[in-house]
């Protein structure tokens, strides 16, 4: 349950239809919240605009006392909130939640008008206090408050921009003093957890208050006794507590056990506020060239997830939709998703907690590192952990990706990156941190993982792949900086965090997920031969119909080639015991990119049921014999290698095999 879901609060969902007006347009129209405006109005795609959302809501008379907060899950990029004509507050940042106390502006028992004005990043400037956004014709891009180059925007520069309110909005009513957030840090070795409780409006008379911690343990774990603690005086807002978890049931991808924690604020014997969250008993470590989960080595079998959706772009269509795609991830044998330069909807992490998918996520990138973009990146890191601290599935986070938004040839920028690594570890030492998930020609400065990206088309470059993997497995100098200031232990686990091959989607399946069997809007993205638009015409123009008969038959053939390429690449990697994980590019196709394990509409590709054979913790690898072809009756030797990471005791195991 995310931090805003305080169970004793009274909530009014504001999801649904709002009135919507783009600046400069005379007419209002309707828009659904949550959802980017680009997903509902095609003419706003890739357009930097400002618009106002308006909603009327009746608030109960009982809300005249206590605290009422307006919550916005995420609005891209800059928001200004007013209630009944009064400016309440503003927020900058397109990926993370904000809340504002609005009780003094509400009229309980009556209709109230809520307006949220949102400006997407682009050539606009904000006129403070006037509640207006106007085109900026006088300032340079560098002088504007939110230039696209200096804000965390992620892959909006690649695939599709996102503007407006794309996560849920709600009002909640709380007591005068309430629990603002709870942070849980599991301690597997000591069979317990530290609990940090933050109070909003802490009481002056603390003697009347106590905090009660109730833990619901998962099946098979020891019972956790309920405990109570006094609330310290002096209006102390942060209180550090602890609970014991005897005989803990540990969280792993195979056994995603979760504990439920309820923190109750008790005043003179009466519960006046509660806060519910979940946590998992687990420990992630990077040492001695291995990744350990709860003290046992684990192999990362991951996929890169852009977290884009066919029609709704950033907003997941539903919780059921997310659950279905994660079910397919587990069916394929994946144990990790790398949510790529994106902070996802909280439901994403909730379901990964429940279903046993490890998550590696990243700060959305900007384009140029300046003092302003650096400050924004630091604040984004703080907000990510503020929201997501208790998620058991979240095990790795990255500061940068492939030097997007940083120039590591500059000494001060390398120093900034090392400082960000240290700052992330100080905020949360229980997770692994990657400074810059690297590729040619960039590198690491200071990192928990020695990870790298490389792409070779197979079978065309199969020998180059073998040579490169052997070099990478030997911990080459080129993965870290060459300027003499690398902070490298040479014990960092080696992970190939991007690689992959293409397998075309079936057009019939993509069209079936549209309302009228039309081509999806994103067919008009990309360029040249990679542009989906017109692909059937090119199919016939190149006389491929004479070979395959239909597009879908060609697509299926290419999908099997994608599988064979991945099989070769994975088996090559896993011959090297020093490589302890990989991330396939990518989980789903995206627009013109067809290298997904699922297509853009989350349809499985032809090899769906074969993937577990190559993605497991244990992998048998028949080594390719020299020569490769033999006559009947001829004898040859076939070496068989075993990559073993599971907890299964394979001593005395027997290998059974046959040849077709």
Closest listed residue to residue 56, CA positions, set 84, 37, 30: 84
Flag whether pLDDT at 1 surpasses 60. Answer: no
Tokens representing 379 are: 């604040």
Closest CA to 388 of 423, 431, 452, 340: 431
Residue 619 confidence (pLDDT) above 90: yes
Strand partners, 265: 211, 273
Statement: residue 657 has pLDDT above 90: no
Peptide bond into 34 cis (omega under 30): yes
Q: 3-state DSSP call for residue 36?
A: coil
Q: What is the pTM of this model?
A: 0.92
Contacts of 36 (CB under 8 A, 6+ apart): 76, 162, 163, 164, 166, 312, 313, 314, 315
Q: Are residues 413 and 378 in contact, defined by beta-carbon separation less than 8 angstroms?
A: no
Relative orientation angle of helices 371-388 and 346-355, to the nearest 10 degrees: 50
Residue 625 pLDDT > 70? no
Query: What b-and-e string marks burial along 169-182, b requiring 16 or more CB atoms within 10 Å of the CB?
Result: bbbbbbbebbbbbb
Structure tokens, 100: 């504002």
pLDDT digits (tens, 9 = 90+) for 240-276: 999 999 999 999 999 999 999 999 999 999 999 999 9
Q: List beta partners, residue 437.
A: 401
Phi, psi of 185 (to 5 degrees): -115, 110
Contact in structure between 284 and 359 (CB atoms under 8 Å):
no
Quick one: pLDDT at residue 185? 97
Work out whether strand 358-362 and strand 394-401 pair parallel, antiparallel, or are unpaired: parallel
- Bond preceding residue 344 cis, omega within 30 of 0: no
Confidence of residue 569 (pLDDT cuts 50, 70, 90): very high
Span 597-614, mean pLDDT? 96
Please tell me the predicted confidence (pLDDT) of residue 656: 87
pLDDT at 392 over 60: yes
pLDDT of residue 564: 96
- pLDDT of the residue at 122: 55
Provide φ and ψ at 243, rounded to 5°.
Answer: -135, 155
Q: How far apart are the two ends of the chain, measured CA to CA in Å?
A: 51
> Cα dihedral sign for 559, 561, 564, 568?
negative
The 3 state secondary structure assigned to 282-336 is CCEEEECCEEEECCEECCEEEEEECCCECCCECCCCCHHHHHHHHHHHHHHCCCE
Comparison of pLDDT for 593 and 127, the residue scoring more? 593
What is the per-residue pLDDT for 525?
Answer: 86
Cβ-in-10-Å burial (0-12, 13-18, 19+) of 49 comes to: buried
Contacts of 353 (CB under 8 A, 6+ apart): 251, 256, 258, 278, 280, 391, 392, 393
β-strands 336-339, 50-58 pairing: unpaired
**pLDDT score for 132:** 40
What is the chain's mean pLDDT, rounded? 91
Q: Is the pLDDT of residue 199 over 90?
A: yes
At residue 297, does pLDDT exceed 60? yes
Residues 73-89: tens digit of each pLDDT: 999 999 999 999 999 99
How many degrees, rounded to 5, is the angle at CA 390 between CA 387 and CA 396? 85
Q: Is 180 strand, coil or helix?
A: strand
Output the CA–CA distances (angstroms, integers) from residue 389 to 324, 384, 420, in the order listed.
25, 8, 17
Q: What distance in Å separates the CA atoms of residue 11 and residue 590, rounded to the nearest whole number?
A: 36
Question: Phi first, then psi: what are they for 554, rounded to 5°?
Answer: -65, -40
Among 258-267, 387-396, 528-537, 610-619, name the one with the lowest average pLDDT: 528-537
Whole-number pLDDT of residue 6: 52
How far CA 354 is from CA of 251, 280, 538, 645, in Å, comes to 10, 10, 44, 23
For residues 608 and 563, give the distance between their C-alpha atoms in angstroms, rounded to a whole number. 9
pLDDT at 146: 84
Instruction: Give 122-148 pLDDT, tens digit per residue.
Output: 533 333 333 343 443 433 333 357 888
Res. 17: pLDDT tops 90: yes
The torsion defined by the Cα of 516, 518, 520 and 524, in degrees rounded to 10, comes to: -150
pLDDT digits over 471-508, tens only? Answer: 999 999 999 988 889 999 999 999 999 999 999 999 99
pLDDT score, position 627 = 62
Alpha helices in 474-518 (DSSP H): 507-512
Residue in the block written with tokens 């060239």:
289
pLDDT value at residue 141: 39
Backbone angles phi and psi of 403, in degrees to 5: 60, 25
Note if the bond before 604 is cis, omega within 30 degrees. Answer: no
Least trusted range by pLDDT, from 17-21, 82-86, 518-522 = 518-522
pLDDT at 434: 98
- H/E stretch holding 198 reads strand 192-200
Distance CA 247, CA 146 (A): 51
Specify the pLDDT at position 637: 82
Cα separation, 358 vs 393, whole angstroms: 5
Instruction: Tell me the Ramachandran region of residue 211: left when phi exceeds 0, alpha when psi lies from -120 to 50, beta otherwise.
Output: beta
Percent of the chain with pLDDT over 90: 81
pLDDT computed for residue 52 by the predictor: 96
């Amino acid at each position: 349950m995310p931090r805003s879901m305080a169970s004793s609060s009274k909530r009014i969902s504001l999801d649904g239809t709002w009135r919507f007006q783009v600046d400069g347009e005379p007419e209002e129209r309707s828009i659904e919240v949550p959802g980017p405006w680009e997903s509902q109005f095609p003419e706003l795609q890739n357009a930097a605009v400002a618009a106002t959302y308006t909603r009327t809501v009746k608030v109960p008379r009982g809300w005249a006392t206590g605290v009422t907060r307006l919550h916005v899950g995420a609005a891209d990029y800059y928001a200004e909130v007013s209630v009944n004509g009064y400016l309440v507050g503003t927020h900058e940042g397109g990926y993370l939640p904000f809340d504002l106390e609005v009780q003094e502006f509400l009229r309980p028992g009556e209709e109230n008008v809520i307006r949220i004005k949102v400006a997407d990043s682009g050539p606009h400037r904000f006129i403070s206090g006037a509640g207006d956004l106007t085109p900026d014709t006088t300032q340079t891009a560098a002088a504007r408050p939110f230039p696209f180059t200096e804000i965390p925007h992620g892959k909006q520069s690649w695939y599709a921009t996102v503007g407006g309110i794309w996560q849920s909005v709600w009002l909640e009513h709380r007591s005068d003093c309430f629990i603002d957030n709870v942070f849980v840090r599991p301690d597997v070795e000591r069979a317990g957890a530290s609990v940090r409780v933050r109070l909003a409006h802490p009481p002056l008379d603390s003697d009347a208050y106590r905090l009660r911690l109730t833990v619901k343990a998962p099946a098979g774990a020891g019972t956790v006794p309920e405990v109570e603690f006094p609330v310290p005086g002096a209006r102390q807002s942060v209180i550090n507590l602890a609970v014991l978890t005897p005989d803990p049931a540990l969280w792993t991808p195979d056994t995603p056990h979760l504990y439920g924690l309820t923190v109750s604020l008790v005043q003179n014997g009466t519960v006046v506020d509660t806060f519910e969250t979940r946590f998992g008993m687990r420990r992630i470590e990077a040492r001695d060239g291995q990744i350990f989960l709860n003290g046992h080595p684990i192999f990362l079998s991951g996929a890169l997830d852009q977290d884009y959706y066919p029609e709704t772009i950033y907003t997941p269509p539903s919780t059921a939709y997310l659950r279905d795609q994660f079910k397919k991830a587990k069916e394929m044998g994946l144990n990790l998703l790398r949510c790529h330069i994106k902070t996802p909807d909280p439901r994403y992490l909730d379901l990964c907690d429940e279903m046993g998918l490890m998550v590696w996520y990243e700060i959305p990138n900007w384009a140029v590192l300046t003092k302003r973009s650096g400050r924004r990146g630091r604040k984004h890191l703080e907000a990510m952990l503020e929201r997501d601290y208790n998620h058991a599935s979240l095990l790795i986070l990255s500061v940068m990706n492939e030097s997007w938004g940083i120039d590591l040839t500059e000494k001060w920028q390398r120093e900034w990156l090392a400082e960000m690594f240290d700052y992330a570890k100080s905020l949360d030492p229980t997770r692994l941190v990657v400074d810059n998930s690297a590729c040619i020609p960039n590198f690491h400065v200071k990192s928990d993982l020695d990870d790298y990206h490389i792409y070779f088309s197979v079978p065309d470059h199969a020998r180059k792949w073998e040579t490169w993997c052997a070099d990478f497995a030997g911990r080459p100098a080129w993965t870290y900086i060459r300027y003499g200031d690398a902070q490298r232990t040479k014990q960092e686990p080696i992970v190939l965090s991007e690689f992959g091959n293409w397998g075309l989607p079936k057009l019939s399946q993509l069209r079936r997920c549209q309302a009228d069997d039309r081509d999806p809007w994103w067919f008009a993205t990309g360029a040249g031969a990679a542009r989906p638009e017109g692909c059937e015409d090119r199919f016939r123009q190149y006389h491929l119909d004479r070979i395959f008969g239909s597009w879908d038959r060609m697509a299926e053939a290419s999908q099997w080639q994608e599988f064979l390429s991945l099989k070769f690449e994975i088996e090559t990697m896993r011959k090297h015991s020093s490589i302890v994980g990989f991330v396939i590019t990518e989980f789903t196709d995206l627009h013109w990119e067809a290298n997904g394990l699922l297509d853009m509409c989350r349809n499985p590709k032809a090899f769906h049921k074969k993937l577990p054979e190559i993605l497991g913790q244990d992998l048998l690898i028949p080594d390719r014999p020299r020569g490769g072809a033999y006559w009947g009756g001829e004898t040859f030797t076939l070496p068989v290698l075993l990559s073993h990471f599971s907890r299964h005791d394979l001593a005395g195991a027997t290998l059974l095999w046959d040849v077709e």
